[in-house]
A and B are shown apart, each in its own frame.
Chain A
């Protein structure tokens, strides 16, 4: 019988930190976005597109979205680990989650750099 004690090491520490670091990035961007939209009050296509055409906002938005995807990966993976007990199904769901999130990151890049 293997009697490993799964505490005390660094199990999950990296993800724990990334979950919080991405949260801070998203929180700062959320406030920035609300201030920018509040100040500009974009009511036309040109004004709305102009927000994301701006170099800084384009990078900030991309950084925000990448943070969303990484944050979502950790959160959704935790949900699968909590509720899905069969290993095969759990692995399948994790792979599917990671796959769509990587796809979203590519999509987000495409959306922003076509502006």
Chain B
């Protein structure tokens, strides 16, 4: 019953408007959202792969789809989601190995994840889409 006593004495802060998600928390929720979005876009990506390798005609179709301004925006978002999931995932693997688990190091590494994933997105987007 000691556990119950401890639970009762724990402070609670459920004043939601005053709770601000720190950067590692924002990284975490984007990791989840990007994973879910990539899952939802799998049929589109598989269709794109299939079209691009099946025949010269379907390759042209795939290129036309990728060349559409609206598709470019979706694909740029997709590349960012992939790069964020990739970089944040590497950070999590390092955290699993107990690398950078201190508060300051974890905050710094989350900043690095955002910087690197956005930079990679812009580079790849510029090369592939424009």
Q: Which residues of A contact B (CB under 8 A)?
A: 20, 23-24, 26-27, 30, 45, 48-49, 52, 68, 72, 75-76, 79, 104, 107-108, 111, 114-115
The CA of A54 and the CA of B39, in the complex, are separated in Å by 27
Chain B facing A: main interface SS: helix
Contact B56 A45, beta carbon cutoff 8 Å: yes
Please count how many residues in chain B sit with their CB below 8 Å of the partner chain's CB atoms. 21
With both chains docked as a complex, state the minimum distance between the C-beta of B55 and any C-beta of chain A, in angstroms: 8
Candidates A23, A24, A79; contact of B32 at CB < 8 Å: A79
Given A20-B93, A76-B39: A108 in contact with B46 (beta carbons within 8 A): yes
Chain A facing B: main interface SS: helix
Contact A75 B35, beta carbon cutoff 8 Å: yes
Contact B42 A72, beta carbon cutoff 8 Å: yes
Within 8 A of A (CB), among B52-105: 52-54, 56, 59-60, 86, 89-90, 93, 96
With both chains docked as a complex, state the minimum distance between the C-beta of B13 and any C-beta of chain A, in angstroms: 21
Contact B86 A107, beta carbon cutoff 8 Å: no
Contact B49 A20, beta carbon cutoff 8 Å: no
Given A48-B59, A72-B39: A115 in contact with B86 (beta carbons within 8 A): no
